Amino acid sequence: MSASSALKTYSLGIDDVADLARGCAFLGSGGGGDPHTTFMEIEAALADGGVIELIDIASLPDDAFVAPCGWIGAPTISVEKLPSGREALQGLRRLEQIAGRRVDAVMPVEVGGSNGLAALLLGIRAGLPVADCDGMGRAFPESQMVIFNIRGQQAAPAILTDDKGNCVVLETVDNVSEERLARAASVILGGSCHLIEYAAFARDMKANALRGTISDALSIGRSIRLARESGRDPFAALFEALKYSRQFDHAGVLFDGKIVDLQRETRNGFSVGRAVIDAFGGGQRLEVEFKNENLIARLNGEVRALVPDIISILDRETAETIVTECLKYGQRVKVVGASAPQALRTAEALAVLGPDAFRLPGPYRSIAELNGWK
Amino acid sequence: MSASSALKTYSLGIDDVADLARGCAFLGSGGGGDPHTTFMEIEAALADGGVIELIDIASLPDDAFVAPCGWIGAPTISVEKLPSGREALQGLRRLEQIAGRRVDAVMPVEVGGSNGLAALLLGIRAGLPVADCDGMGRAFPESQMVIFNIRGQQAAPAILTDDKGNCVVLETVDNVSEERLARAASVILGGSCHLIEYAAFARDMKANALRGTISDALSIGRSIRLARESGRDPFAALFEALKYSRQFDHAGVLFDGKIVDLQRETRNGFSVGRAVIDAFGGGQRLEVEFKNENLIARLNGEVRALVPDIISILDRETAETIVTECLKYGQRVKVVGASAPQALRTAEALAVLGPDAFRLPGPYRSIAELNGWK
């Protein structure tokens, strides 16, 4: 990563992107899609001379027009349904037509999973910088579960595009209708579509977006890799990276064991299911329920982590995150929890994306409190 | 109805609209929605000084921009969910923004049911003439079942609007995707939305639209009323009106009896069901299956009418059509069949809107052939 301090931009190389992918997968809390396909697309785009320019949102002028982007649909589908590669740019151009002005920067709507990388690919293709921030600091299954909605920004106009060239423009008067329409349309269009939403001026994004989350993800991914390369414990390196991150203050291992049962189905456009993990010595059992993302972890029936805190299932040797659609019976894993960004833990935020929003037993208690972490 | 022959336009009064509503209900083949609510909206708009100007499509310049409009959803829902009255004009203005030009005339996408009147209401509110034509000569449950699709016109951009001010713009590359997206969005938005689609230049509409169908509906409705007022048989008057219509060449009574069983449910955004009608003398039974519209009529198990031919269920005394959502156990009815416009009976058209398209037993045989009508 090379810094250009005058403009406060950084250009990322392919090794940085590989580290970023690893960090995004972790922050995805099991969701946001496996970053692998998007990583390969970026690899090809960089080989073609493309440039990734990361920029601190604070360094953009207030009237810069910023477009959050990502993919909507069930991750189980995105594994098999490849993009055409034209979806994102088509959506961006349509937004520009509607807004009557050019977009100045793109950003991930959610940093988790492949959606943390999708904005980079669009940035390369559009020749635009990527703002180092996002709307969740993780991934969530529904579009309205985003800090922009919590802070009163409008999702509309939202632009949905698919691999065949179809485009749906959602001009909704409320953000829940936007999610429900986008979800229904994504199901009709094959279960995985590109979505640009909550486009706004940098002024609003500076006030509301979760800042530095791309840097945080990059740092997480790099720390894990460097630890492995030097024979150190990658989990210790992960926790150190989280400790010094901008958005994540508590983290730890929730469980160590083997996946002994797995239920997973695609329902109403979501990947829904449950993983059961038994300790190697026997006796102890962790159950993780997910809807695209892991939402709740119960140790022997007792809640140990709850949405919006991050619950990720990692390979216990390499500390590579296994996203929900890649979970398999028999995988040996460590389940890692991390506190959600503070902005997601306010009463206003929890009403939109906390346990109640998923009809899970609440009220929300922080992962630090549930596990006695200092 | 007063003629203005220089401009080839006609202005309609409220009595004309009442006759038109009666004729549209008949041509709806049970669907298109009960015209009652739309009739009342037009009544109020005319009382406010609004003007309905009907125009022969042939008299529009080739480069006039024409917008077909109507409502999408299950008629069972539209009975209870009233419009705000702003949906159609919001959609029209959005189309004009996208097209970068003003619309010169509106028209019904389907003349059947309340959709035959909806264009008149939009014409009043927008101060635009209504072209005397439509895309079906009746009503059909799905958007792609329209002559414009059969002749290769594009549905996109299609503009869906609801009572809350939500707007969805469908920019699809094929017309079946447009239907599927519009249907899914209409379900999310409460089951009944306004839809503008297949907007085109008058050049294309002159070549493809079914011409004179509003006049045909008006003539049907007027004939039934005049017969009733003068003590003559309204069914004989209906058949005479059809005989001298521009689009409908064979018609007759398929059955006379009482509704003895009725199944009706709202499924995937459609009203789906079956009416069973027994003859008064006993022995004979007619079964009518519907999906928004009546699709097939079987006399003692033998097919006597098949989509796209018109199958309408009428009150046996007044010859008022009973649309599918208003059917009730015990109603005494005559079931009337009429041949669909010739343009819907070609091989190309039948592939899109004939029995196969509904997975009904085919191939299509005309109602004249099935009943031995000359």
pLDDT band of residue B6 (cuts 50, 70, 90) is very low
Please list the alpha-helical segments (H only) found in A202-329: 202-208, 213-229, 234-243
B160, B144 contact by CB (below 8 A): no
pLDDT at residue number A76: 72
Both B155 and B292 in one domain: the answer is: no
Both B90 and B161 in one domain: the answer is: yes
- Calculate mean pLDDT across residues A174-180: 97
Both A171 and A51 in one domain: the answer is: yes
The enclosing domain of A321 has a CATH number of: 2.40.390.10
Both B270 and B140 in one domain: the answer is: no
Q: Is residue B150 part of a domain?
A: yes
E strand segments, B50-165: 52-55, 65-73, 105-108, 130-131, 133-134, 158-161
| A5 conformational bin, left if phi > 0, alpha if psi -120 to 50, beta if neither | alpha
Residue A3 has pLDDT above 50, yes or no: no
pLDDT at residue number B4: 43
- Lookup: tokens for B216: 């045909």
Residue B3 has pLDDT above 60, yes or no: no
- Lookup: tokens for B151: 């002749």
pLDDT at residue number A73: 85
pLDDT band of residue A79 (cuts 50, 70, 90) is confident
Tell me the ipTM for this assembly: 0.86
- Calculate mean pLDDT across residues A27-42: 93
B218, B16 contact by CB (below 8 A): yes
Helix or strand or coil: residue A262?
strand
- Calculate mean pLDDT across residues B219-238: 98
- Calculate mean pLDDT across residues A211-223: 97
Both B91 and B160 in one domain: the answer is: yes
Q: Which domain holds residue B353?
A: 246-371
B223, B197 contact by CB (below 8 A): no
Give the domain-ending residue among B164, B187, B211: B211
Give residue-wise pLDDT tens across range B235-252: 999 999 999 999 998 999
Report the half-sphere exposure of A284 (CA within 13 A, side-chain side).
Answer: 11
- Calculate mean pLDDT across residues A264-275: 88
- Calculate mean pLDDT across residues A150-169: 98
Write the DSSP assignment of A40-84 as a string of letters. Answer: HHHHHHHHTT--EEEE-GGGS-TT-EEEEEEEEE-HHHHTTS---
Helix or strand or coil: residue B188?
helix
Q: Is residue B351 part of a domain?
A: yes
Give residue-wise pLDDT tens across range B125-154: 999 999 999 999 999 999 999 999 999 999
Helix (H) or strand (E) segment spanning residue B222: helix B213-229
| A10-24, A70-84, A279-293, B299-313, range with the lowest pLDDT | A70-84
- Which is nearest to B368 in space by CA: B337, B343, B346? B337
Residue B5 has pLDDT above 70, yes or no: no
Interface probe, candidates A160, A174, A188, A197, chain B, greatest B C-beta count within 10 A: A188
The burial of B287, by beta-carbon neighbours within 10 Å (0-12 exposed, 13-18 middle, 19 or more buried), is given as middle
Helix or strand or coil: residue A358?
helix
Question: Helix A115-126 to helix A14-27 angle, to the nearest 10 degrees?
Answer: 140
Both A254 and A342 in one domain: the answer is: yes
Residue length of chain A: 374
The enclosing domain of A174 has a CATH number of: 3.40.1610.10
Both A274 and A335 in one domain: the answer is: yes
Give residue-wise pLDDT tens across range B66-100: 999 999 987 777 778 889 999 999 999 999 999 99
Both B164 and B259 in one domain: the answer is: no
The burial of B50, by beta-carbon neighbours within 10 Å (0-12 exposed, 13-18 middle, 19 or more buried), is given as middle
Nearest CB among A171, A181, A188 relative to B180 is that of: A188
- Lookup: tokens for B255: 């059955």
Mean pLDDT of chain B: 94
Structural domain total, chain B: 2
pLDDT at residue number B33: 86
Share of chain A above pLDDT 70, in %: 98
- Which is nearest to A208 in space by CA: A358, A348, A373? A348
B131, B206 contact by CB (below 8 A): no
Residue B369 has pLDDT above 80, yes or no: yes
pLDDT band of residue B271 (cuts 50, 70, 90) is confident
Give B321's DSSP letter: B
Both A78 and A191 in one domain: the answer is: yes
- Using DSSP, how many helices (H) and how many strands (E) does chain A show? 12, 19
Residue B31 has pLDDT above 60, yes or no: yes
Q: Is residue B237 part of a domain?
A: no
Nearest CB among A164, A169, A173 relative to B173 is that of: A164
Query: Do A165 and B185 make contact, defined as CB atoms within 8 angstroms?
Result: no
Give the domain-ending residue among A151, A186, A211: A211
* Chain B positions with Cβ closer than 8 Å to A: 94, 164-174, 177, 180-181, 184-185, 187-189
A34, A169 contact by CB (below 8 A): no
- Burial B227-239, CB ≥16 within 10 A → b, else e: bbeeeeebbebbb
Query: Do B170 and A171 make contact, defined as CB atoms within 8 angstroms?
Result: no
Helix or strand or coil: residue A327?
coil
pLDDT at residue number B1: 43
Give residue-wise pLDDT tens across range B181-198: 999 999 999 988 999 999
Give B173's DSSP letter: S
Q: Which chain A residue has its CA at the smallest distance from B178's CA?
A: A166
Interface probe, candidates B154, B169, B195, chain A, greatest A C-beta count within 10 A: B169
Query: Do B184 and A185 make contact, defined as CB atoms within 8 angstroms?
Result: yes
Contacts of B185 in chain A (CB under 8 A): 181, 184-185
Higher pLDDT, B37 or B9: B37
CA distance A177 to chain B (A): 8
pLDDT at residue number B2: 45
Positive/negative CA dihedral, A123, A126, A127, A128 = negative
| A147-161, A275-289, B266-280, range with the lowest pLDDT | B266-280
Q: Is residue A367 part of a domain?
A: no
Contacts of A170 in chain B (CB under 8 A): 168
Give the domain-ending residue among B211, B229, B261: B211
Both B281 and B148 in one domain: the answer is: no
Contacts of A173 in chain B (CB under 8 A): 164-166
Report how far residue B8's alpha carbon sits from residue B2's, in angstroms, rounded to the nearest whole number: 11
Contacts of B174 in chain A (CB under 8 A): 164
Q: Is residue B277 part of a domain?
A: yes
Contacts of A186 in chain B (CB under 8 A): none
Torsion of CA A111, A116, A118, A120, to 10 degrees: 110
Q: Which residues pair with A346 in a beta bridge?
A: none
Q: Is residue B217 part of a domain?
A: no
pLDDT at residue number A2: 45
- Calculate mean pLDDT across residues B210-216: 97
Both A255 and A174 in one domain: the answer is: no
Q: Is residue B80 part of a domain?
A: yes
pLDDT band of residue B220 (cuts 50, 70, 90) is very high
Q: Is residue A368 part of a domain?
A: no
Nearest CB among B94, B168, B184 relative to A187 is that of: B184
pLDDT at residue number A374: 81
Q: How many CB atoms lie within 10 A of CB B360?
A: 16
Give residue-wise pLDDT tens across range A104-116: 999 999 999 999 9
**What is the distance of C-alpha B277 from the center of its chain?**
24
CA distance B89 to chain A (A): 15
Give residue-wise pLDDT tens across range A143-152: 999 999 999 9
E strand segments, B98-201: 105-108, 130-131, 133-134, 158-161, 167-171, 192-196, 200-201
Residue A276 has pLDDT above 60, yes or no: yes
Report how far residue A280's alpha carbon sits from residue A249's, in angstroms, rounded to the nearest whole number: 29
- Which is nearest to B91 in space by CA: B9, B185, B20? B185
Report how far residue B52's alpha carbon sits from residue B32's, in angstroms, rounded to the nearest whole number: 21
Both A114 and A160 in one domain: the answer is: yes
